[in-house]
Structure 1
Amino acid sequence: MELKKEYSIQSFFIPALLILLFLESCSVQHRLAKDVSRFLRDSPVLNNHLVGFALSGSDQQGMIYAQNADKYFIPASNTKLYTFYAGLKMLPDSIPSIRYIERGDSLIFWGTGDPSFLKRGMKTDKTFRFLSTSPRRLFFAAGRYTGNAYGQGWAWDDYNDDTQAEINELPMLDNLVGFKNENGRVTVDPQHFNDCLLKDSLNHQKEFSVVRKVGTNEFDYPPGAVPADFMQLVPYKTSTLTTLNLLRDTLGSDVQLIQLEMPGNAKTIYNSRSEDVFREMLLPSDNFIAEQLLLVYSNQFQQSLSSTDAIRYILDKYLKDLPDRPRWVDGSGVSRMNLFSPRDMIMLLQMIDKEINNRQKLFSMLPAGGLRGTLKNAYPKTEHPFVFAKTGTFSNNYNQSGYIVTKKGKILVFSFMNNNFMGPVKELKAEMAKLMGYIHDQY
């Protein structure tokens, strides 16, 4: 009888305890939601423009708080989270770099759009070694990518900025030319462009800088002393001929052009680890990598390389359950034509978390508040960050979407989107950090 009585008490006590814990959790969530709502309402920095804020647990059990979460916002570089997720679903552990066949004494190869081939700052050289050490005659088969050099809706007058490198099927050296001061003169890397740099008295930039003429690979810089710390990266104008010449110079081999459609049985050479490329895209917010990855994704399911086809494929195959179908037009978020909702971002982040299933690995790929990447100066300096998120920055637009680790060890997912503000972005970042800090401390 006593055993029966004890069992009866325990079976009453355990469900009761679970109910109490559930009610306490609901109470904390309700209080947090009220405090967040009050903060957003009373903040003079946040209440004079369009704000979307969504906060949820890392599972898919509903929102803790949502304001304008179903509205569309210009995401800027938050778009790279979509490109990241697509890579997790579509790529093996290394980036497909080139496709090739061997015929007699010839090696014929096609590009995949691989951004890591000879990329500055990335030391992987598998593709380079494969091509440069081949005993066969090399033939580059161009034509897999026939799209535009720029993404849909990109600003034409940013063509000289290193954040807007052109898109092509076989990129090299980030599709950028490097200029720097060496012993008082401007040097060029790669040297293929040496003869394209001229001193021009009509270059009247406010600061000493190299400017490329629109539509050509003619670069000029102003007369006068070269600043001691001068360094600049400028996009070069891509073309099949430029690609061919760069291949010849870099490989130290004669590379010929051939017109040949890639057969279905073409083999693949893999270059950098996918994880390293994703990290290189997310931490500094590298637009070039993001755009080129879309071409790599299309290589996985079709003959031609197409950003548009890749986006359509990803939306239909992997993202069809998003609550608000996004308008997604490029890989990097350079285009203002992209439109995503905060609650879409929440679901995407939850899917990323589930796909990787390793928080330490996931957080190592993302900017960390006060420590690294594009969030280094957005939060107080710390060795123990609690926000791991992707930023998205345009003039008059600033967003963060990612993860918060609370003092109690909970993992929350958030999307904080600000469009059409007129004040200083520094004030906006400080206000966002204040709210994130409160959530970290209280939940």
Structure 2
Amino acid sequence: MKRIFLSCCLIVVLSSCTSTKKTIQKGLSSTLSTPFYENQFTGVLFMDATTKDTLFNQNSTKYFTPASNTKIFTLYTALNTLPDRIPALRYIRQNDTLFVQGTGDPSFLHPYLKDSTAFKFLQKEKNIALSTGNFQDSRFGPGWSWEDYDYYYSPERSGFPTYGNVVLLTNGTETPVVPEYFKDSVIPIANKTNRKEHRNLFYFDAARTDTLEVPFKTSDTTLKAVLEKELKTTITIVKEMPLGSKQTLYGIPADSLYVRLMHESDNFIAEQLLLLSASETADTLQTQIAITNTLDKLLPNLPQGPRWVDGSGLSRYNLFTPQSMVHVLERLYVELPRERLFKIFPSGGVSGTLTDWYEGNSTPYIYAKSGSLGNNYCLSGYLLTNSGKTVIFSFMNNHFKHPSSEIKTSMQQLFEKIRDTY
């Protein structure tokens, strides 16, 4: 009798779950079939994190331009390649000279990261030889928009970045130009661009704006000059390190970079994380080394192999499927403690790029990474339902002409339906 009762209960539960999934599928299908979505390309996958059941699937095996959803793959790469503290630099001491090699660490003198480990280490030295030959990548990623060279979100990649490879210009402060090396390279007038394309000559109209962040052109000459001014010592640039075993100086906690990467959608940190990851598996700082290692060794069983060319998602060459996004999100969900994972991802209505969207009734119900380019908006992450379930999802929208706020509003309505009914 007891066995019959339990069997009946199980049937009722399964019937209820099936009915709920059908309701969700019908609701999402109905919405995504409206004229609003007619002329754009939309891919969606919702999966129960525990049972692995698919709640809804539309075009999830098709390729989309992911924009900053690419950073989910960058995060996974870094988490599985880098130690708990970031390798700040590698060095060999020979006689009275310290030979130093960059690792791609973005935190050196970074205005927001505030880590001084490497700076204090170098400050004690009198003779420093900086090897720059291990950086063998382009300053911009493949497919980046060339006209973005003077915008804050598009700093150049480099092997030994300083100040985030950005000049910070502020009005009415004690240090109006940071780094100070560029103080004589700022013209106080309005201009259609913030910097000369091929020169470190900047334009800043203090009457129109209080703060401006402008990427500077990187080079060995500029790096040498900035370091000499900050460290107050002579720097010699060399192409190669001397023979011998290199030691590693470890700096900022890795999670500090991961939180900024995801919350602020920091493109510079994304690019440098792939260079850092390459430095852990090879002696060359090259983005493709990290990407190849991840696809071949860390994620060999992706449902659909992506076209992946950079760390940030600035490139429109990137192509990923919603199904592959969910695959990596599931790996993160299994491999990381829930509290740590949800701290790294922005939360709806609370933090990062989701501060103004997907707000919960009392606590966040969305933990996800957004991705935006012109006419594209994607969101991939985790949805917590009122019944205590976790849903892993990827919702990708390409080629729409609506304002992105209308896309987000429609998505939010669908998320709330799943939250309230599943």
TM-score, normalised relative to structure 1:
0.91
Aligned 8 A contact 1:117 1:271 in 2: no
Task: Determine which of 69, 84, 89 is the counterpart of 2:60.
Answer: 69
| CA radius of gyration, larger in | 1
User: Are the aligned partners of 1:212 and 1:234 in contact in 2 as well (CA < 8 Å)?
Assistant: yes
The correspondence of residues 164-313 of structure 1 with structure 2, limited to 5 A, is 164-182=154-172, 187-199=176-188, 203-205=190-192, 211-221=194-204, 226-227=207-208, 230-261=210-241, 263=243, 265-313=245-293
Change (3 A) 1:176 1:339: same
Q: Secondary structure at the match of 1:297?
A: helix
For the residues of structure 1 that align with 2:42 and 2:152, how far apart are their CA atoms? 30
- Inter-partner Cα distance in structure 1 for 2:83 and 2:266: 21
The 5 A counterparts of 1:58-207 are 58-59=49-50, 61-134=52-125, 137-182=127-172, 187-199=176-188, 203-205=190-192
- Could you tell me how far apart the structure 1 residues matched to 2:100 and 2:289 are? 22
Structure 1 distance, partners of 2:254, 2:366, is 24
1:3 counterpart residue number:
none
Which one of the candidate residues 409, 416, 419 is aligned to 2:398? 419
2:21 is the alignment partner of 1:29 = yes
Instruction: Give how far 1:215 is off.
Output: 1.3
Residue 405 of structure 1 aligns to which amino acid in structure 2?
L
Structure 2: distance between partners of 1:120 and 1:62: 45
Mapped partners of 2:61, 2:150: distance in 1 = 36
Counterpart of 2:171 in 1: which secondary structure?
strand
- The C-alpha deviation readout for 1:344-393, integer Å capped at 9, x for no partner, is 1111100111111x212211111111111111112347651101100000
Stretches of structure 1 that go unaligned for 5 or more consecutive residues are 1-8
Q: C-alpha deviations, 1:276-332, integer Å up to 9, x for none?
A: 110011001000000011110000111111001111111111111111100000000
| Aligned length, in residue pairs | 422
Counterpart pick for 1:384 among 339, 349, 363: 363
Q: d(CA) in 2 for partners of 1:361 and 1:310?
A: 24
Task: Name the structure 2 match of 1:4.
Answer: none
Aligned-pair CA distance for 1:204: 4.4
Amino acid at match of 2:416: G
Alignment check: 8 A CA contact 1:141 1:257 kept: yes
The amino acid that maps onto 1:333 is G
CA distance in 1, matches of 2:243, 2:63: 42
Q: Which residue of 1 is the match for residue 407 of structure 2?
A: 428
1:62 Cα deviation from its structure 2 partner: 4.1
- From 330, 339, 346, the equivalent of 1:360 is 339
Q: Which residue does 1:350 correspond to in 2?
A: 330
Residue type at the aligned position of 1:295: L
Q: How far has the Cα of 1:177 moved from its partner?
A: 0.2
Matched, 1:47 2:32: no
Are the equivalent residues in 2 in contact too, given 1:294–1:310 (CA < 8 A)? yes
Contact 1:186/1:226 (8 A) holds in 2? no
Letter of the 1:138 counterpart: I
Q: What displacement does 1:39 show?
A: 2.1
Distance 1:63 1:95 in 2: 37
Please report how far the alpha carbon of residue 45 of structure 1 lies from its aligned counterpart in structure 2 after TM superposition: 2.9
Please, which runs of 5 or more residues in structure 2 have no aligned partner?
none
Matched residue SS, 2:281:
coil
Question: What is the aligned partner in structure 2 of residue 334 from structure 1?
Answer: 314
Paired residues of 2:99 and 2:241 also in contact (CA < 8 A) = no
Distance 1:60 1:93 in 2: 31
Contact 2:101 2:241 in 1 (8 A): no
Distance (Å, rounded) in 1 between the aligned partners of 2:124 and 2:223:
19
Please state how far the C-alpha of 1:262 moved relative to its aligned partner: 6.1
Contact 1:52-1:416 within 8 A present in 2 as well: yes
1:46, CA displacement in angstroms? 2.7
Q: CA deviation at 1:16?
A: 4.8
* 2:36 alignment partner, SS class: coil
Query: Which one-letter code corresponds to 2:100 in the other structure?
Result: F
In structure 2, relative to structure 1, the CA distance for the partners of 1:382 and 1:133 (3 Å cut) is farther
Tell me which amino acid in the other structure corresponds to 1:190: P
C-alpha displacement of 1:30: 2.5
What is the identity, as a one-letter code, of the residue corresponding to 2:219? Answer: S
**SS of equivalent residue, structure 1 residue 310:** helix
TM (norm. structure 2) is: 0.95
Deviation at 1:152, TM superposition (A): 0.4
The equivalent residue for 1:396 is 375
1:100 and 1:440 map into 2 onto residues whose CA distance is 52
Answer whether contact 1:374 1:391 (CA < 8 A) is retained: yes
Distance 1:60 1:196 in 2: 59
Quote the sequence identity (%).
36
Q: Against the structure 1 CA distance between its residues 273 and 394, is the aligned structure 2 distance closer, same or farther, given a 3 Å change threshold?
A: same
Distance in structure 1 (CA, Å) of the matches to 2:53 and 2:324 = 13
1:321 paired residue among 288, 301, 306: 301
Distance in 2 separating the partners of 1:383 and 1:241: 53
Per the TM alignment, residue 126 of structure 1 is displaced from its structure 2 partner at its CA by 1.2
Q: Secondary structure at the match of 1:351?
A: helix
Cα 1:245–1:370 change in 2 (3 A) is same
Matching residue's letter, 1:219: F
Contact conserved, 2:47 with 2:393, CA < 8 A, in 1?
Answer: yes
